[in-house]
Amino acid sequence: MNIVPTLIPVSDLQRDSARIVNLAKLSEHPIIIVRNNKPEVAMFNVDKLQKMFDRLQVLEENALLLDLRQTEADFKAGKLKSTTDFSEFLND
């Protein structure tokens, strides 16, 4: 999905902040505040932002689970050594 954000100059935010905050509150997409034609900050609807954080957490947890499964498979395949016995590494 390609989202074209709403771009608002910082000068408009200074002049009409209540309208722009309301726009961000009602929008499904971020409002991007620009200064000198460069993005400075994004304004999000708080509920949308929370959903994004929740989704990110789920994705991070899924990635962690995949990493743990791969580590377990590597250990079972003998690709990893147990960390309970370091004696072979200490005898130089």
The confidence score (pLDDT) of residue 87 equals 66
Q: What CATH number is attached to the domain comprising 29?
A: 3.40.1620.10
Question: pLDDT at position 4, please?
Answer: 73
What would the DSSP string read from start to end of 17-66? HHHHHHHHHH-SSPEEEEETTEEEEEE--HHHHHHHHHHHHHHHHHHHHH
Q: What is the pLDDT of residue 84?
A: 66
Same domain, 25 and 37: yes
Number of domains the chain contains = 2
Task: Report the alpha-carbon distance of residue 40 to residue 32 in Å, rounded.
Answer: 7
Look at the alpha carbons of 70, 72, 76, 80 in this order and tell me if their dihedral is positive or negative: positive
User: What's the pLDDT score for residue 17?
Assistant: 95
39 and 14 in a single domain? The answer is yes
CA atoms within 13 A on the CB side of 82: 4
Residue 5: its pLDDT value, please? 79
Residues 40 and 10 grouped into a single domain: yes
Q: What is the pTM of this model?
A: 0.61
Q: What is the CA radius of gyration of the chain?
A: 24
pLDDT for 85: 61
Instruction: Give the structural domain span for 38.
Output: 6-44
The strands making up 6-9's β-sheet, listed across from edge to edge, are: 6-9, 31-35, 38-43
Looking at the fold, whether 51 and 40 belong to one and the same domain comes out as no
Task: Kindly list the averaged pLDDT for each block of 10 residues, start to end, along the chain of length 92.
Answer: 81 95 91 95 92 93 90 85 66 60
